[in-house]
Amino acid sequence: MPPAPYAYRQLDDPKLEAKAQGLMETIRCLTCQSQSIADSDASIAGDMRSQIRERIAAGEEPEAIRAWLVERYGDYITYTPRVTSLTWPLFAAPVAILLVAALLLRRRFGRGERNGGPQA
């Protein structure tokens, strides 16, 4: 099959192309997994680039397109994951670990100050 019409062709309007490019850089290629669809040469990435450009040209906003892609392919597709009831522990765990570490360090090193400092 030939590549999608806008897989390798930019939009004529530079402002619309900038919107499309900005969105494409935040969407993960499903085949490559370590590249955005803007950088990937995989055929699915080309199809996704074309879909994004077509939707941008039709007047759709990037966030609406992102939501459609996430709904279609899942949260893995985006480099900026949403905080949901399933993902909040991933965001809260580092903060909790830092708080526990700070508490332990304070208890460990705060003892000498309360007793008048280290004894000689």
3-state secondary structure 86-98: CCHHHHHHHHHHH
- Same domain for 23 and 71: yes
C-alpha span between 58 and 53 (Å, rounded)? 8
The boundaries of the domain holding residue 67 are 1-82
Output the pLDDT for position 99: 95
Output the pLDDT for position 37: 94
CATH of the domain at 15: 1.10.8.640
- Same domain for 64 and 40: yes
**Which residue has better confidence, 82 or 77?**
77
- Same domain for 5 and 32: yes
- Same domain for 37 and 95: no
0.75 exceeded by pTM:
no
- Same domain for 78 and 97: no
List, in order, residues 6 or more apart from 85 with CB less than 8 Å away: none
- Same domain for 97 and 62: no
Q: Tell me the pLDDT of the chain averaged across its residues.
A: 87
Number of domain units in the chain: 2
Helix (H, G, I), strand (E, B) or coil at 34: coil
60-64, 87-91, 109-113 — most confident range: 60-64
- Same domain for 40 and 98: no
- Same domain for 12 and 50: yes
- Same domain for 104 and 66: no
pLDDT in tens, 17-73: 999 999 999 999 989 878 999 999 899 999 999 999 999 999 999 999 999 999 999
List, in order, residues 6 or more apart from 45 with CB less than 8 Å away: 29, 30, 31, 32, 35, 37
**Which residue has better confidence, 99 or 89?**
99
**Which residue has better confidence, 27 or 111?**
27
